Amino acid sequence: EAGVAQSPRYKIIEKRQSVAFWCNPISGHATLYWYQQILGQGPKLLIQFQNNGVVDDSQLPKDRFSAERLKGVDSTLKIQPAKLEDSAVYLCASSFNSGTPNSPLHFGNGTRLTVT
C-alpha cells in the first residue's frame, strides 16, 4: 500500500509571499487532514475533510490559509500572505473514515516551511 505523498519536502519563502502544499492520500481513504507542527510541539489540526466536504476548520486562519480537496482525493493547502510565525512542518494525513473511531491516521513526511 502506497503511503501518503506530500510535496514539496522543503520550502523557503519570504514573508508576505504565497506558498502551496500538495497532498495525495492513501487510495480509498475518505478522510484527509492538514496539521501544522511547530518545532517541539504536537500536531495542531488545521482542517479535516470527509470526502470533499469540510468536517472541521475551526483552527484554520482563514484570512491567510485556504485548503481544498477536489473530487475527494488530492488536496492543496495554501498560505497567502505568509508570516514569520507560519514557519513549521505541514503534515497531511488520511484515514479510512473519520466516522469510525478505530481509524488511525496515516501521515506523510510533511513539508518543512521556513518564512524569512
Partner 1 sequence: EDQVTQSPEALRLQEGESSSLNCSYTVSGLRGLFWYRQDPGKGPEFLFTLYSAGEEKEKERLKATLTKKESFLHITAPKPEDSATYLCAVHAGRGSYIPTFGRGTSLIVHP
Residue numbers of the site for partner 1 (CB under 8 A)? 4, 31, 33, 35, 40-45, 48, 50, 55-56, 91, 93, 98-110
| Pairing label, strands 106-107, 88-95 | antiparallel
- CB 81 to partner 1: min, Å: 27
Q: Which of 15, 24, 17 shows the shortest CA–CA distance to 83?
A: 15
Give the DSSP letter of residue 85: G
5 or 13, CB closer to partner 1?
5
Instruction: Please give the DSSP secondary-structure letter assigned to residue 15.
Output: T
Nearer to partner 1, 22 or 107 (CB): 107
CA-to-CA distance for 73 and 32, rounded, in angstroms? Answer: 8
Cell numbers found for residue 46: 488545521
* Shorter beta-carbon distance to partner 1: residue 15 or 62: 62
Tell me the closest approach of the beta carbon of residue 89 to partner 1, in angstroms: 9
Name the minimum Å distance from CB 23 to partner 1: 11
